[in-house]
Amino acid sequence: MALAPYDLTGRTAFVTGAAGGIGRASAVLLAEAGATVHCADRDAGGLHGTAELVGKHGGTARTHVLDVTDRPALAKAVHSCERLDVMAAIAGIMHSSPVLETREEDLDRVLNVNFKGVLYACQEAARLMIARNTRGSIVTMASGAVDTGGPGLLCYGAAKAAVVQLTKTLATEVGGQGIRVNAIAPGWIRTPMTDRHDGEAQAHTEGVMARMSPLGRVGEPEDVAHAVLYLASDASAFTTGQILRPNGGVAMPW
Ligand SMILES: NC(=O)c1ccc[n+]([C@@H]2O[C@H](COP(=O)([O-])OP(=O)(O)OC[C@H]3O[C@@H](n4cnc5c(N)ncnc54)[C@H](O)[C@@H]3O)[C@@H](O)[C@H]2O)c1
């Protein structure tokens, strides 16, 4: 069957940031493709909602309420998986402040969640995959911020650039064990993270973002979830160390 490489039946995926937005859409799609999904997030209520959605789509979800910066908790949750074929390290936070007003605690907070949280997830996943001899796929979440500078994006962009470096480095280190590591750098996606204004102001922001894309629209969580499924599945079997950009064409690096 032509679509067989996308089939995740019998596989297990671990998704961080699964309580909402891109993480939730990814968990649901991976489950629809046949995977058992382990959903991790610090938002217990959101996780419950995701697990319900997975169930409605006929899938199986396990939930782990944790903070991705809590390394022992994350390690325990990952190693509770019988087997691990896919790690999607999606949890992240937004922060915006001009360089001259950025405080050390801002930088620490954003690097802790957006970089160290992804690093710990990658490390635990790769350890488990190697121990179980699984030719798995690790997907990290970078951002279009790595392609285009922007005012206020120092902490967020630095953490996402570090995620790209982690992705490329790890890809070279675990490729020999058949493990692939790729990053996704989405453009502006309509999620709770980008829902920062009320009514007209939000519509104005979305309009500005939409006009930056040759497609004339902003992204939806499902646009990114489809990229996650591609990288998680055998459809991308010859792809590693890459950055995939569901960004509506806002940036077009070589
Ligand atoms: N929305 C966009 O436009 C966009 C663009 C590029 C990249 N991204 C990235 O995509 C990822 C998902 O973003 P989203 O837009 O879905 O945002 P979101 O706020 O809807 O979802 C982020 C999820 O991460 C969880 N989370 C945050 N900090 C956590 C922590 N310390 N421990 C555990 N869970 C934590 C939140 O509870 C939330 O469920 C993020 O890494 C974000 O940086 C988003």
Domain housing 89: 8-244
The alpha carbon of 192 and the centre of ligand 1 are apart by a number of angstroms equal to: 8
Q: Tell whether 117 is covered by a domain.
A: yes
2 in Cβ contact with 72 (< 8 Å): no
Question: How far are the Cα atoms of 28, 102, 196, 237 from residue 222, in angstroms, in the given order?
Answer: 10, 33, 20, 22
pLDDT at 103: 98
- The one catalytic residue in 6, 120, 156, 230 is 156
pLDDT tens readout for residues 179-224: 999 999 999 999 999 998 888 999 999 999 999 999 999 999 999 9
pLDDT tens readout for residues 71-103: 999 999 999 998 999 999 999 999 999 999 999
Q: Tell whether 95 is covered by a domain.
A: yes
Residues 38 and 78: their CA atoms lie apart, in Å, by: 8
Our count of domains for the chain comes to 1
Look at ligand 1, atom 23, and give the residue with the nearest C-alpha. Answer: 17
Q: Tell whether 156 is covered by a domain.
A: yes
Per DSSP bridges, beta strands 137-141 and 180-184 are parallel
Q: What angle do CA 169, 91, 114 make, to 5 degrees?
A: 55
Instruction: Give me the mean pLDDT over the 20-43 stretch.
Output: 98
113 in Cβ contact with 68 (< 8 Å): yes
Q: Tell whether 3 is covered by a domain.
A: no
Q: How confident is the model at residue 111 (pLDDT cuts 50, 70, 90)?
A: very high
pLDDT at 163: 98
pLDDT at 128: 98
- Mean pLDDT computed over every residue of the chain: 97
Q: Tell whether 251 is covered by a domain.
A: no
Our answer to whether residue 6 is catalytic in this structure is no
The percent of residues above 70 in pLDDT, for the chain, comes to 100
**Closest to 135 in 3D by CA, of 29, 248, 52, 232:** 232
Residues 140 and 181: their CA atoms lie apart, in Å, by: 8
Q: Tell whether 252 is covered by a domain.
A: no
pLDDT at 1 over 80: no
The alpha carbon of 77 and the centre of ligand 1 are apart by a number of angstroms equal to: 19
Instruction: Give me the mean pLDDT over the 238-251 stretch.
Output: 98
Give me the phi and psi of 197, to 5 degrees please: -125, 170
Q: How confident is the model at residue 10 (pLDDT cuts 50, 70, 90)?
A: very high
Q: Tell whether 174 is covered by a domain.
A: yes
Question: How far are the Cα atoms of 12, 96, 161, 196, 209 from residue 167, in angstroms, in the given order?
Answer: 21, 24, 10, 29, 27
Mutate which of 193, 224, 228 to test ligand 1's pocket (most atoms within 8 Å of Cβ)?
193
| DSSP 8-state code for residue 146 | G
The alpha carbon of 184 and the centre of ligand 1 are apart by a number of angstroms equal to: 13
Which domain CATH number covers 212?
Answer: 3.40.50.720
**Closest to 121 in 3D by CA, of 11, 16, 48:** 16
Reported as type and span, the H/E element at residue 77 is: helix 71-79
Look at ligand 1, atom 38, and give the residue with the nearest C-alpha. Answer: 17
| DSSP 8-state code for residue 180 | E
Q: Tell whether 249 is covered by a domain.
A: no
